[in-house]
Amino acid sequence: MEQRLTDMEMLIMHQGHIIDQLNEVVTGHQALIDQLTKELKIIKEHLRGLSASENRLPSEEEPPPHY
């Protein structure tokens, strides 16, 4: 009986350690997701600025001078 209790305590300690490790991984991934989300927002804003000033539809383009 004593050995079973000791085994269960060891198992619980091991599981607690694994949960702590997984929590560190999840926290790191969330930080990376937050960073990538901010970078994507900056890129989207940059692209919106480019499309408004530099990219025109073909119908909006001026014809070449020889026309």
Predicted TM-score (pTM) of this structure: 0.61
Q: Which pLDDT score, from 0 to 100, does residue 64 have? A: 73
Q: Which pLDDT score, from 0 to 100, does residue 52 have? A: 57
- Token duo for residue 42: 């900056």
Q: Which pLDDT score, from 0 to 100, does residue 63 have? A: 73
The type of residue at 28 is G
Q: Which pLDDT score, from 0 to 100, does residue 2 have? A: 94
Alpha helix locations (H) across 1-67? Answer: 2-53
Mean pLDDT by runs of 10 across the 67 residues of the chain is 95 98 98 98 92 61 72
Q: Which pLDDT score, from 0 to 100, does residue 20 have? A: 98
| Cα dihedral sign, 38-39-42-43 | negative
Distance (Å) of CA 49 to CA 27, 33, 41, 58, 64: 33, 24, 12, 18, 25
